[in-house]
C-alpha cells in the first residue's frame, strides 16, 4: 500500500456547481452549465490552469487565476467529467445535469456533499515525476496476463520471459533483486534471484499498480535500485450491501481461461468492521507459435485472499491473508542435458516434432515449477492529535518453490527452496511545520531464514543451490517535504544494517562451515520540482541506493538446469552502490501532452553473471562456466511519451523507451539489456453506439545491437562446446513489429451494476518473432496470434 | 443463503491452504560412477569414470581405455551412485525404464571399432546395457559414452532408437587406445 497515511498525500478539493435552466417541453435542454472552483486542500491555495473537460459534449476549459472554471451550453444528461492538473493524478467524475438541480443556486462548499460530487485528487507522491500508475480500468483490459506482462504497458518497463507463462519485470534495464515489490504494504520476499522466478503475486487482486522508475531506497530499504512496484487492492470501506466483482477471461492461444471473484461488505452487527473475500483460478494448456505448438507449456493457478478492517474512532486495524499457488510447465524442448544438447537445439530451425505436438493438452508434465506464497499482514493505524499518525505493520511470508525435473521412473529430481520472512515497519507522520513542511520517520526490521537441508545451523547436504541462512536487516529513515505553490522539494536519508549468517557443508566434508556477512549503508534522496505557467513541469531527482550481495551471488555452485550453465558464486563480492539522477520534463496542454524522463545511473560494484570461457566437466558432459562478478556500470536512458487527445474521444499516443547500459571497466555494453522499443496506440471512444471503444496498438522492438564482444574473464584454459557470441549462445534476434486490436462495450444499469466486455486480438498478423529477453529464444519462436475475451461484472 | 455460501467459501479456502512440502520429498539423484566392462574370453578389462563429489569441485577421474586390436569384446555398462553407502545401483533403474533410455557408444573414428546392441526394450528398440564392441586396427582416439533419457511427452513415447530425442543424462569422453 502506498502509505495512504503519509501526510504529504495532499488532497485536492473540487467544488462543483451544477445548474441548468428549466427545460421547455420535451426538447433536449442544452443550456446547462457546470461551474466550480479547484482548491488544494492542504495549502488552501487555488489551483490555476487545471483542465476540466466533458468529453462527450466536446467541452473543455482551464481554471482561471482564481481557480474557477465554467463550462456552458451543456445538454442535459449524465456525463463523465475529467480533471487534469500537472502534479496531480488525473481524476474522473460523473456529473448528472438534470433540471432538479436548479434549486442548488446558492450551493456553497459545505453543501457539496448533498450531490455527492465532492471528489479528491491525490497529489503525485513522487515529486520528480518518475512514477506511473495503472488504475483498475486499465487493469481490467489486461486481466489474465501475468504481472510482468501487465507492467509492460508502462514506458521504460520490459519483461524477461521464460516461455510465455513466466515473466519478470525489468525497469530501466534492471531486474530481480534490483527491483522491490511492495504487495499490499509489505515488502514482497519471494525468490527474485533467478531469471525464471516470476513474482509470486496474483494480479487479479490488484486494483492499482504504481511503478516508481528509479531508486527509492530511502523509503523502502536495500535493493530498491532499479525501481519499486507497489501493488494495492482497494481500501476496505463501509458498505450497506454485499458488493461483488467478477472478472473472467478466455484466451484462444493455449485455451487459457480464468475467473476471479471479489465479495465485500460490512458487518451490520459490529459497527466499523468491513471484510473482503477474494479467489481466482487460472488454467492454460499448450501454447502455440505461428508455426507450431509447444509441448508442456500449460500452467495452473489458484489464489485467494481474506481481508478485514476494523475502525473505531481514530484507530484502524487491518488484517490480511493471501495465498498464491501456481504450477507451470516448462517447455520440453528447452529441457537441456548439457551443452551439446543445447548446441543442437540452437542449431535447429524449429524444435523437434516430439516437442511440437499437433494435439492440444492441458496436462503439465515434468519438468515443471510448483510455487506457493503465503502472506499474513496485521496493520494498525492510529490517528494522533494534530493530524499526526502512527502506523505499525507486521508481515509474515512463506515462500515455497520446487523445480521438478524429469527423471527415471516416477522419481523426481527437485530443487526445493523455502524462505520464511517476518517484517515489521513503524511509521510516524509528524504534523506539518509552518504549514509547508511535512514528513515522516520510520523504522524497518526484517528477519528471514532459509532451510534447504537439515535445520538452520545444521545443514545435512552439500549439493544445494542455496545454503541455509538467516538474514536480519534493520533500518531507519526520515523524509521531509516542502511545498510552496508551484514549488516542491523533498529530502530524505536512511541507515541500514544487514547481518547474513550462512551455514553450509563444503564438498565431501562433515564439518559445518559458517560464514558471516555484515553490511551497512547510508542512503540519501533529494528531489525538486517546479511548475511553470501551469503548463510545464520540471523535476529533478537524486537518489542513492544499495544492494548487499545476495546469497545466490555469493554461494552458487552447480549446474543451472534449463540454461545449461555451470554457475559459480563469489563470497568476496562487495556491496553494490548506485547513484541515480533523473530529470522529468512535462508539458500539458488542452489536447496535447508530452513527457520526457531522462536518467543517468551509475552503479559501483554492479554484480552480474558472465561466461568465464572455461567449461566444467560433469557426468552429463561439459558445461560453460558462468561466474558472478562485479564492474562499474552506467545506465543512461530516456522514456518519452507523446499523447494527442481530443476530448478523450480520439487519442493517439506514443511511448518510446531508449536505454544504453555499459560496463565501464571493460568499456563495452552490458549483456541482457532490453532493446529499444516504441509503442503506439490509437484509441477511439464511441458515444452512443453498439461499441464503446476501439483500440489499435503497434509495438516495435528494435534489435539489441549493443551486446558485449570482449571476454570478461582472463585465464581461459578449456574449450567450450559452444562458440559464445559476445558472451551469449546466439546472436540477438532481429527487430519485430506486433499489432494488437481490441474492441469493448460497457453496460451500465440503473442499480449501479456494470458489465464490461472486451474482445482483443494480440499479434493480429501472426508474426513469427523471438525476443532478446526471452530465455527460450534459443529454442523456439514466441507465441502467435491470440484472441481473448474478458468480462468484468460489478454488482 | 448468501451468508452460508460465504461460509462455505471460507471453508473450502481454509482447507486448500496446506503447505506443499509433503508432495515433493525426493532428493536429487546422482550418478557418480560409470563402469565399462570389456570381456573377451578370460580377458576381462574394467574402466571407469568417477566424480564422487558430484558436479564441480574436484575434477573427475577418467580411466584410459586400452583394448587389443581385431578383437570382439562383450561390453556391459554399470551406473552407480557411490556418494551413498552402500552405493546405489542405478543400472537397475535404467533397465527398469528401458523404453525411455538409450546408451550410445561412439568412437571418434570408425577405425577404432564398432558397437552393436545385444538387448532390446519392450518396443524392440535397442537399449545398450549389454552389447559387443569390435576393434579393428591399432590407433588412438576417444570413445564417447552417452545415456540418453527419452521420457514420453504428454503420454507419447519419444524413444525411436536414434539419439535425437531427449537429453543427455551421461555424456563422457573416454580416451581410447587400441593396440
At which residue does the C-alpha cell 587406445 appear?
B177
Q: Is A60 left (phi over 0), alpha (psi -120 to 50) or beta?
A: beta
In a domain, B21, yes or no: no
Pick from B3, B5, B13, B94 the residue to mutate for testing the A interface (most A CBs within 10 Å).
B13
Using the beta-carbon criterion (under 8 Å), do B29 and A398 form an inter-chain contact? no
Do residues B119 and B130 touch, judged by C-beta distance below 8 A?
Answer: yes
Using the beta-carbon criterion (under 8 Å), do B51 and A619 form an inter-chain contact? yes
A725 or A444: which carries more pLDDT confidence? Answer: A444
Using the beta-carbon criterion (under 8 Å), do A296 and B6 form an inter-chain contact? no
CA atoms lying within 13 Å on the CB side of residue A154: 27
Q: How confident is the model at residue A28 (pLDDT cuts 50, 70, 90)?
A: low
Q: What is the pLDDT of residues A175-190, one digit of tens each?
A: 989 999 999 999 999 8
- For residue A374, the chain B residues in CB contact (below 8 A) are 17
Using the beta-carbon criterion (under 8 Å), do B153 and A566 form an inter-chain contact? no
Q: Which residue of B has its CA nearest to A411?
A: B26
Q: List Cβ neighbours of A291 (8 Å cut-off, separation of 6 or more).
A: A350, A768, A781, A784
Assign residue B130 the CATH number of its domain.
Answer: 2.60.40.1080
In a domain, B76, yes or no: yes
Cell numbers of A117, please? 460530487
pLDDT of A21 strictly over 50: no
CA angle A370, A374, A375 (to 5 degrees): 150
pLDDT recorded at residue B20: 53
pLDDT recorded at residue A394: 96
pLDDT recorded at residue A228: 92
pLDDT of A8 strictly over 70: no
Chain B nearest C-alpha distance from A480 (Å): 42
Q: How confident is the model at residue B1 (pLDDT cuts 50, 70, 90)?
A: very low
pLDDT of A7 strictly over 60: no
Using the beta-carbon criterion (under 8 Å), do B51 and A359 form an inter-chain contact? no
Cell numbers of B97, please? 525404464
Q: What is the pLDDT of residues A461-482, one digit of tens each?
A: 777 778 899 999 999 999 998 8
- What is the DSSP secondary structure assignment for residue A782, as one 8-state letter? P
User: What's the length of chain A?
Assistant: 795
pLDDT recorded at residue A54: 79
pLDDT recorded at residue A103: 31
B54 or A397: which carries more pLDDT confidence? Answer: A397
- For residue A332, the chain B residues in CB contact (below 8 A) are 153
Fold (topology level) of A11-122: Immunoglobulin-like (2.60.40)
Name the B residues in 49-78 with CB < 8 Å from any A CB: 49, 51-60
pLDDT recorded at residue A447: 96
Q: What is the pLDDT of residues A145-164, one digit of tens each?
A: 889 999 998 888 999 988 77
pLDDT of A5 strictly over 50: no
- For residue B93, the chain A residues in CB contact (below 8 A) are 408-409
The C-alpha atoms of residue A602 and residue A581 are separated, in whole angstroms, by: 9
User: What one-character-per-residue DSSP string does A265-296 give?
Assistant: EE-SSSTTEEEEEEEEEEEE---B-SS-B-TT
Q: Which residue of A has its CA nearest to B157?
A: A354
Lowest mean pLDDT segment, chosen from A85-89, A218-222, A264-268, B76-80: A85-89
CA-closest candidate to residue A543, choices A576, A588, A580: A580
Using the beta-carbon criterion (under 8 Å), do B153 and A619 form an inter-chain contact? no
Chain B nearest C-alpha distance from A357 (Å): 9
Using the beta-carbon criterion (under 8 Å), do B17 and A402 form an inter-chain contact? no
Contacts 24+ apart (CB under 8 A), A762-767: A762/A738, A762/A786, A762/A787, A762/A788, A763/A290, A763/A738, A763/A739, A764/A739, A764/A740, A765/A738, A765/A739, A766/A290, A767/A290, A767/A736, A767/A737, A767/A738
Using the beta-carbon criterion (under 8 Å), do A363 and B155 form an inter-chain contact? yes
pLDDT recorded at residue A98: 62
> B107 phi and psi, to 5 degrees?
-70, 150
CA-closest candidate to residue B177, choices B45, B77, B80: B45
User: What one-character-per-residue DSSP string does B7-46 give?
Assistant: HHHHHHHHHH---SGGG--PPPP---EEEEEEEETTEEEE
CA-closest candidate to residue A537, choices A601, A580, A488, A590: A488
Chain A nearest C-alpha distance from B147 (Å): 9
Do residues A351 and A345 touch, judged by C-beta distance below 8 A?
Answer: yes
pLDDT recorded at residue B64: 94
Q: How confident is the model at residue A715 (pLDDT cuts 50, 70, 90)?
A: low
What's the total number of domains in chain B?
1
pLDDT of A23 strictly over 50: no
Q: How confident is the model at residue B36 (pLDDT cuts 50, 70, 90)?
A: very high
Q: What is the pLDDT of residues B9-21, one digit of tens each?
A: 444 444 444 455 5
pLDDT recorded at residue A111: 28
Chain B nearest C-alpha distance from A137 (Å): 27
- A756-763 mean pLDDT: 94
In a domain, B13, yes or no: no
Q: Touching check for B3 and chain A: CB below 8 Å?
A: no
pLDDT recorded at residue A240: 87
Mean pLDDT of chain A: 83
Q: Which helix (H) or strand (E) is B5 found in, with range?
A: helix B2-16
Q: Is A420 left (phi over 0), alpha (psi -120 to 50) or beta?
A: beta
Statement: A243-794 belongs to CATH 2.40.170.20: yes
Q: Which residue of A has its CA nearest to B24?
A: A414
Preceding peptide of A663 cis, ω within 30°: no
The listed range with the strongest mean pLDDT (A112-126, A452-466, B11-25, B108-122) is B108-122
Using the beta-carbon criterion (under 8 Å), do B21 and A335 form an inter-chain contact? no
At which residue does the C-alpha cell 563480492 appear?
A573
- A415-433 mean pLDDT: 89
Lowest mean pLDDT segment, chosen from A300-314, A482-496, B13-27: B13-27
Chain A nearest C-alpha distance from B172 (Å): 6
Lowest mean pLDDT segment, chosen from A539-548, A572-581, A669-678, A726-735: A726-735
**ipTM (interface predicted TM):** 0.78
Distance of CA A377 to the CA centre of its chain: 20
Q: Touching check for B168 and chain A: CB below 8 Å?
A: yes
Q: Is the dihedral of CA A686, A687, A690, A691 positive or negative?
A: positive
Contacts 24+ apart (CB under 8 A), B112-119: B112/B136, B112/B139, B112/B141, B112/B143, B112/B176, B112/B178, B113/B67, B113/B143, B113/B178, B115/B75, B118/B74
Q: Touching check for B94 and chain A: CB below 8 Å?
A: yes
Q: How confident is the model at residue B87 (pLDDT cuts 50, 70, 90)?
A: confident
Integer angstrom CA distances of residue B147 from A43, A729, B75, B153: 75, 24, 15, 18
Q: Touching check for A418 and chain B: CB below 8 Å?
A: yes
pLDDT of A116 strictly over 60: no
Q: What is the pLDDT of residues A555-589, one digit of tens each?
A: 888 877 656 678 889 999 999 999 999 999 989 88
Q: What is the pLDDT of residues A478-489, one digit of tens each?
A: 999 888 878 889
In a domain, B153, yes or no: yes
pLDDT recorded at residue B77: 95
pLDDT of A237 strictly over 90: no
Q: How confident is the model at residue A652 (pLDDT cuts 50, 70, 90)?
A: very high
CB atoms within 10 A of CB A488: 24
Q: Touching check for B151 and chain A: CB below 8 Å?
A: yes
pLDDT recorded at residue B9: 47
Q: How confident is the model at residue B168 (pLDDT cuts 50, 70, 90)?
A: confident
Using the beta-carbon criterion (under 8 Å), do A337 and B32 form an inter-chain contact? no
The listed range with the strongest mean pLDDT (A158-162, A364-368, A395-399, A536-540) is A395-399
- DSSP H helices in B62-147: 91-96
At which residue does the C-alpha cell 448528472 appear?
A96
Q: How confident is the model at residue A70 (pLDDT cuts 50, 70, 90)?
A: confident
- What is the DSSP secondary structure assignment for residue B94, as one 8-state letter? H
CA-closest candidate to residue A51, choices A148, A155, A111, A121: A121
pLDDT recorded at residue A121: 43
pLDDT recorded at residue A12: 47
> A345 phi and psi, to 5 degrees?
-60, -40
Report the percentage of chain A scoring pLDDT > 90. Answer: 42
Using the beta-carbon criterion (under 8 Å), do B26 and A277 form an inter-chain contact? no
Using the beta-carbon criterion (under 8 Å), do B154 and A296 form an inter-chain contact? yes
pLDDT recorded at residue A1: 35
What residues does each domain of chain A span? Answer: 11-122, 131-232, 243-794
pLDDT of A340 strictly over 80: no
pLDDT recorded at residue A764: 95
Q: Touching check for A568 and chain B: CB below 8 Å?
A: yes
pLDDT of A738 strictly over 90: yes
pLDDT of A431 strictly over 90: no
- B23-42 mean pLDDT: 76
pLDDT recorded at residue A151: 92
Q: How confident is the model at residue A626 (pLDDT cuts 50, 70, 90)?
A: confident
pLDDT of A112 strictly over 50: no
pLDDT of A268 strictly over 70: yes
What is the CATH superfamily name and number for domain A131-232?
TonB-dependent receptor, plug domain (2.170.130.10)
In a domain, B8, yes or no: no
B19 vs A286, A400, A558: nearest CB: A400
Domain that holds residue B64: 27-178
pLDDT recorded at residue A546: 94
pLDDT of A20 strictly over 50: no
Chain A nearest C-alpha distance from B26 (Å): 6
- A495-513 mean pLDDT: 89
pLDDT of A366 strictly over 80: no
A363 vs B17, B30, B154: nearest CB: B154
- For residue A415, the chain B residues in CB contact (below 8 A) are 28
- For residue B26, the chain A residues in CB contact (below 8 A) are 411-414
The listed range with the strongest mean pLDDT (A89-103, A410-424, A697-711, B1-15) is A697-711
pLDDT recorded at residue B29: 64
Lowest mean pLDDT segment, chosen from A215-219, A247-251, A322-326, B71-75: A215-219
Q: How confident is the model at residue A26 (pLDDT cuts 50, 70, 90)?
A: very low
Q: How confident is the model at residue A34 (pLDDT cuts 50, 70, 90)?
A: confident
> A53 phi and psi, to 5 degrees?
-140, 145
pLDDT of A109 strictly over 50: no
Report the percentage of chain A scoring pLDDT > 70. Answer: 87
Share in percent of chain B as helix, strand, coil (round to 5): 15, 40, 40
Do residues A477 and A461 touch, judged by C-beta distance below 8 A?
Answer: no
Size of interface A-B (CB pairs under 8 A): 149
pLDDT recorded at residue A4: 36
pLDDT recorded at residue B143: 94
Using the beta-carbon criterion (under 8 Å), do A408 and B93 form an inter-chain contact? yes
CA atoms lying within 13 Å on the CB side of residue A387: 12
Amino acid at each position: 500500500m502506498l502509505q495512504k497515511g503519509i501526510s504529504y498525500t495532499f488532497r485536492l478539493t473540487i467544488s462543483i456547481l451544477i445548474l441548468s435552466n428549466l427545460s421547455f417541453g420535451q426538447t433536449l435542454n442544452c443550456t446547462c452549465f457546470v461551474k466550480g472552483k479547484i482548491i488544494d486542500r492542504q495549502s488552501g491555495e487555488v489551483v490555476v490552469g487545471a483542465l476540466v473537460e466533458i468529453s462527450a459534449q466536446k467541452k473543455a476549459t482551464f481554471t482561471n487565476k482564481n481557480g474557477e472554471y465554467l463550462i456552458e451550453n451543456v445538454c442535459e444528461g449524465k456525463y463523465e467529467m475529467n480533471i487534469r492538473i500537472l502534479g496531480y493524478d488525473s481524476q474522473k467524475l460523473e456529473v448528472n445535469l438534470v433540471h432538479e438541480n436548479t434549486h442548488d443556486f446558492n450551493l456553497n462548499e459545505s453543501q457539496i456533499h448533498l450531490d455527492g460530487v465532492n471528489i479528491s485528487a491525490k497529489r503525485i507522491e513522487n515529486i520528480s515525476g518518475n512514477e506511473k500508475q495503472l488504475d483498475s480500468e486499465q487493469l481490467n483490459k489486461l486481466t489474465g496476463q501475468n504481472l510482468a506482462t501487465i507492467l509492460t504497458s508502462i514506458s521504460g518497463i520490459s519483461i524477461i520471459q521464460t516461455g510465455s507463462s513466466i515473466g519478470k519485470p525489468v525497469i530501466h534495464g534492471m531486474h530481480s533483486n534490483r527491483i522491490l515489490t511492495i504487495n499490499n504494504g509489505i515488502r514482497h520476499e519471494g525468490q527474485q534471484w533467478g531469471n525464471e522466478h516470476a513474482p509470486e503475486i496474483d494480479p487479479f487482486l490488484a486494483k492499482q499498480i504504481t511503478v516508481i522508475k528509479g531508486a527509492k531506497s530511502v523509503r523502502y530499504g536495500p535493493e530498491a535500485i532499479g525501481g519499486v512496484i507497489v501493488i494495492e487492492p482497494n481500501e476496505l470501506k463501509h458498505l450497506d450491501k454485499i458488493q461483488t466483482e467478477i472478472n473472467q477471461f478466455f484466451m484462444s492461444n493455449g485455451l487459457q481461461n480464468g475467473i476471479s471473484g471479489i465479495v465485500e461488505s460490512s458487518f451490520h452487527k459490529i459497527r466499523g468492521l468491513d471484510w473482503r473475500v477474494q479467489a481466482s483460478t487460472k488454467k492454460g494448456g499448450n501454447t502455440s507459435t505461428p508455426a507450431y505448438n509447444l509441448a508442456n507449456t500449460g500452467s495452473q493457478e489458484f489464489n485467494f485472499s481474506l481481508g478485514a478492517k476494523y475502525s473505531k474512532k481514530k484507530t484502524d486495524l487491518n488484517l490480511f491473508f493471501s495465498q498464491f499457488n501456481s504450477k507451470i510447465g516448462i517447455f520440453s524442448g528447452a529441457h537441456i542435458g548439457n551443452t551439446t544438447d543445447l548446441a543442437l537445439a540452437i542449431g535447429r530451425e524449429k524444435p523437434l516434432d516430439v516437442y511440437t505436438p499437433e494435439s492440444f493438452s492441458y496436462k503439465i508434465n515434468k519438468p515443471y515449477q510448483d510455487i506457493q506464497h503465503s502472506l499474513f499482514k496485521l496493520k494498525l493505524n492510529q490517528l494522533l492529535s494534530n493530524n499526526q499518525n502512527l502506523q505499525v505493520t507486521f508481515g509474515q511470508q512463506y515462500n515455497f518453490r520446487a523445480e521438478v525435473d524429469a527423471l527415471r521412473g516416477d522419481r523426481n529430481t527437485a530443487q526445493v527452496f523455502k524462505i520464511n520472512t517476518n517484517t515489521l515497519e513503524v511509521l510516524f507522520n509528524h504534523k506539518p511545520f509552518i504549514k509547508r513542511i511535512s514528513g515522516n520517520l520510520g523504522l524497518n526490521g526484517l528477519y528471514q531464514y532459509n532451510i534447504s537441508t537439515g535445520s538452520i545451523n545444521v545443514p545435512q547436504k552439500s549439493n544445494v543451490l542455496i545454503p541455509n541462512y538467516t538474514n536480519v536487516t534493520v533500518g531507519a529513515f526520515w523524509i521531509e517535504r516542502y511545498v510552496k505553490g508551484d514549488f516542491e522539494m523533498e529530502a530524505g536519508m536512511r541507515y541500514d544494517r544487514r547481518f547474513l549468517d550462512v551455514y553450509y557443508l563444503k564438498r565431501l566434508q562433515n564439518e559445518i562451515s559458517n560464514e558471516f556477512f555484515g553490511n551497512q549503508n547510508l542512503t540519501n534522496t533529494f528531489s525538486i520540482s517546479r511548475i511553470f505557467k501551469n503548463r510545464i513541469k520540471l523535476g529533478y531527482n537524486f537518489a542513492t541506493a544499495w544492494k548487499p550481495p545476495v546469497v545466490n551471488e555469493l554461494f552458487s555452485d552447480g549446474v543451472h538446469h534449463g540454461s545449461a550453465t555451470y554457475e559459480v558464486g563469489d563470497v568476496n563480492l562487495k556491496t553494490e552502490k548506485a547513484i541515480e539522477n533523473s530529470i522529468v520534463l512535462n508539458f500539458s496542454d488542452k489536447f496535447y501532452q508530452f513527457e520526457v524522463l531522462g536518467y543517468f545511473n551509475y552503479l559501483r560494484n554492479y554484480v552480474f553473471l558472465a561466461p568465464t570461457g572455461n567449461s566444467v566437466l560433469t557426468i552429463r558432459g561439459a558445461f560453460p562456466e558462468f561466474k558472478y562478478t562485479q564492474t562499474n556500470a552506467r545506465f543512461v536512458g530516456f522514456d518519452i511519451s507523446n499523447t494527442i487527445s481530443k476530448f478523450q474521444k480520439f487519442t493517439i499516443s506514443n511511448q518510446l523507451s531508449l536505454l544504453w547500459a555499459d560496463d565501464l571497466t571493460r568499456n563495452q555494453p552490458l549483456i541482457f539489456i532490453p532493446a529499444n522499443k516504441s509503442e503506439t496506440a490509437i484509441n477511439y471512444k464511441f458515444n452512443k453506439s453498439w461499441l464503446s471503444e476501439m483500440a489499435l496498438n503497434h509495438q516495435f522492438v528494435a534489435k539489441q545491437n549493443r551486446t558485449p564482444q570482449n571476454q570478461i574473464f582472463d585465464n581461459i584454459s578449456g574449450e567450450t562446446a559452444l562458440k559464445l557470441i559476445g558472451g551469449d549462445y546466439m546472436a540477438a534476434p532481429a527487430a519485430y513489429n506486433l499489432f494488437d486490436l481490441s474492441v469493448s462495450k460497457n453496460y451500465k444499469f440503473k442499480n449501479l451494476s456494470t458489465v464490461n466486455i472486451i474482445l482483443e486480438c494480440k499479434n493480429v498478423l501472426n508474426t513469427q518473432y523471438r525476443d532478446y529477453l526471452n530465455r527460450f529464444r534459443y529454442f523456439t519462436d514466441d507465441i502467435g496470434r491470440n484472441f481473448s475475451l474478458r468480462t468484468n461484472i460489478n454488482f | 443463503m448468501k451468508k452460508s455460501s460465504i461460509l462455505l467459501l471460507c471453508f473450502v479456502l481454509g482447507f486448500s491452504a496446506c503447505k506443499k512440502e509433503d508432495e515433493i520429498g525426493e532428493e536429487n539423484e546422482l550418478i557418480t560412477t560409470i563402469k565399462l566392462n570389456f570381456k573377451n574370453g578370460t580377458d576381462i578389462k574394467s574402466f571407469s569414470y568417477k566424480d564422487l563429489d558430484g558436479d564441480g569441485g574436484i575434477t573427475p577421474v577418467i580411466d584410459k581405455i586400452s583394448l587389443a586390436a581385431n578383437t570382439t569384446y562383450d561390453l556391459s555398462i554399470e551406473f552407480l551412485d557411490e556418494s551413498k553407502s552402500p552405493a546405489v545401483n542405478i543400472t537397475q533403474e535404467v533397465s527398469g525404464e528401458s523404453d525411455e533410455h538409450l546408451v550410445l557408444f561412439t568412437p571418434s573414428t570408425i577405425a577404432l571399432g564398432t558397437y552393436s546392441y545385444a538387448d532390446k526394450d519392450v518396443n524392440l528398440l535397442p537399449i545398450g546395457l549389454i552389447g559387443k564392441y569390435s576393434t579393428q586396427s591399432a590407433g588412438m582416439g576417444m570413445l564417447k559414452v552417452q545415456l540418453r533419457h527419452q521420457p514420453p511427452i504428454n503420454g507419447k513415447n519419444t524413444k525411436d532408437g536414434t539419439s535425437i530425442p531427449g537429453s543427455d543424462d551421461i555424456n563422457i569422453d573416454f580416451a581410447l587406445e587400441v593396440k
